[in-house]
Structure 1
């Protein structure tokens, strides 16, 4: 028995290494292409809104995916689905090359939008697969750590961008991105399931209305899950959705810095995200926060949000590039920590066989609002003539209100659930 357990633990660790590495490599290629293309579009148009439209399209496909299906907890075995999706993404990426020479950015963006449909199904699959490739007692820790692979890939791409963004061609970035998807597919192919539970081979695809009803039912029956599901969409929309637009614009407009500074901002964001997700994984392992009173989760979320808002405002208010960089790193670290808190809560608290569906819908909502805030950010920058303080102040005020509303709703629903349970106990 001990030998069998040791084998399961070893295989789980190996799966983690393979999965995290695959996630890292594929995200690195995609982010490098994203940086090169964003700079090219802003250089061509000089418009914050047009640049924001391109950035928003990176997130919009997941919303389209959810309209088709969110319950990916059955059907094709997730390991197979993951590596096949990576292969399809590689092929779609290669189709971009003929349009690069023509400078046809519209065709390139549309192809990336199509590829995004497969990318986001793959992103959902990475969550669905977790209970089947990781030991149950380490599920939240390993799932958080694998999620960190995405952010490590962002960091690698950003660091490469500092040295390459001014010299690397768009065609080279496209080829590199395609290769990373193929390498990722090979690594995922080497992963093996360790769970005794078999992945459901079939299931009835339900209409979007019924899936949303089940989703809200799950959230309403467990107020803790509701609060956790609010954190990824809110943080992604109001932090990542806004600073993603500022990154290719702010360094040049505010401090008259060049493209290397833009890439440096991606490096700083990536370092902060990796630190936030990695330290959260360690924090989750040792604090076992979801095994304690939920007040601990609430405290971390609210304090982290407050500090993130303050840091974001400080980063655009200061007139010093160095101080801006410091506050920016702190903001991204805190936002990522809060995002990971919500993500781990979804993995831990979602009903069995609904983890993928709950995450998919939550992630889709986040991407939709991320796309929306990106567009509004670009429009406000054009409207206020790149007044970054006004723009960020508006978003941080709205975020603060919404996080407090989420907390109030949690308290109300928690009270209702406790009363219902007490009534059933009394009736029994």
Structure 2
């Protein structure tokens, strides 16, 4: 009799498992603008219904033919709208009921998503927040009455991906979005510690910012440079090494045309020139000329800086590409801001994934980018900045045969360390023909 009962239970369990075809593999939620996106990763296409409850606010999702044994306590949740995700009593033994506990009212939009690349079937829930909490990046404002010094050089730092967009995923499960944010924060600290520089982050946490929104944040912050940080990936584990990317000419021409069509933003890009050319029959021609010059300057500056970044990165990691690469990348499309994208390595390569998970290595990558940025802006500081004012007060000396740092320090009555700091020198060696900035005491 006991054997019959055991056999019956086993058959029932097998039948239940066969009936509950679908399974929830993971749950994640992250804010993005005025909404929080909740994603349920599933084994197969979901069959679902949902409804909302109040006092307290909840969203209830019923999944048919789905197992209810997934561990929702491990859900990856960020932001303050979604408090937690849990199981509740299902409609029947072959269904799963998911309860999303909310901190305030939110309007749900629920839809399934087909498999795409590394992602399988998903059920996506967009929760339109009744009281969104935006992470605003403050604009840089200089009050000449209260601040007598020249403005800072503004560096916009973009940590790639974020929120519901994890980016590439390494073989050990490393998310690109976490690596890029860590490197970006190291770089932010180094920039902010440098007198005359200030960092602006396009994102400061694990949330998604649209690709076109990122250069917009840089522009509103009056940035002098946008540097976007990423980690590469490939279908095999072999490729490795860093690379630096700039905007391709084809994309540049497309973006230039797009900006010309948006006449209401001419004043934003052209400044005072917009008043001169307004209400003029040749406005479009003049705008095209000025915008074209602006983009040419930005692209030339981007290429120059990218070469310096590659030179510095070589001291930290091997390079997959030894020269700047051009591509049609949305984050690089600001026509008035020099912009580069740095691929710090292949997260799909086991050794590089291991390196990127090492905090000291990430800081060294940030240091190499910072050194390149500092070298570039010491040479060509933007007008109106503290560094431009300092450069105008300094002397430029071209090294001749027989001259050394100690000789120049004695001649100009400055310390050797001061000359080295002004020129970002790591040794006392100078070369014939090298131009050195000699700070005035």
Higher strand residue share: 2
Q: Which has the higher helix share?
A: 1
Tell me, yes or no, whether TM beats 0.5: no
Which one has a bigger Cα radius of gyration?
A: 2
Instruction: Give the alignment's TM-score, normalised by structure 2.
Output: 0.24
Higher RCO (C-alpha 8 Å, min separation 6): 1
Question: Normalising by the residue count of structure 1, what TM-score does the alignment of the two structures yield?
Answer: 0.24
